[in-house]
């Protein structure tokens, strides 16, 4: 059986402490059997959280030129991306009431 990771220990411990405090505050339990039941429930919940916590493992980086499926490296890295429309700015001269002109940029969609 593998040893628990530090993350699993932390998640499980925090779950036990927080769930115990929350249940004790919510229920207002003061008798021995009630407190024991809450402690057992909190320990079970902490164990469940620790077991379900994601296991981390070291991933070895792949060497360039080697593939898992046997395909050529260029075929694996070649990806097609849909062409996105480009927006070009054109200069438009607008007249004002005083007769002076001003340049402003207006986006014009090109492409699809």
| pLDDT single digits (tens) 25-62 | 999 998 999 999 999 999 999 999 999 887 655 555 66
Q: Please tell me whether the overall predicted TM-score, pTM, comes out greater than 0.75 for this model.
A: no
Q: Quote the number of domains for the chain.
A: 1
The answer to whether residue 32 is domain-embedded is yes
27 domain residue, yes or no = yes
Q: b/e for 75-101, b at 16 or more Cβ within 10 A?
A: eeeeeeeeeeeeeeeeeeeeeeeeeee
Structural domain contains residue 25: yes
Which pLDDT tens digit goes with each residue over 89-100?
555 555 545 555
For residue 93, being part of any structural domain is answered with: no
């Amino acid at each position: 059986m593998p040893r628990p990771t530090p993350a699993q220990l932390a998640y499980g411990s925090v779950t036990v402490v927080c769930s115990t405090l929350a249940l004790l505050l919510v229920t207002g339990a003061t008798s021995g059997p009630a407190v024991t039941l809450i402690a057992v429930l909190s320990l079970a919940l902490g164990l469940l959280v620790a077991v379900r916590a994601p296991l981390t493992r070291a991933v070895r980086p792949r060497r360039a030129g080697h593939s898992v499926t046997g395909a050529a490296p260029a075929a694996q890295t070649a990806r097609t991306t849909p062409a996105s429309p480009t927006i070009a700015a054109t200069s438009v001269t607008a007249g004002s009431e005083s007769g002076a002109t001003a340049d402003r940029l207006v986006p014009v969609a090109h492409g699809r």
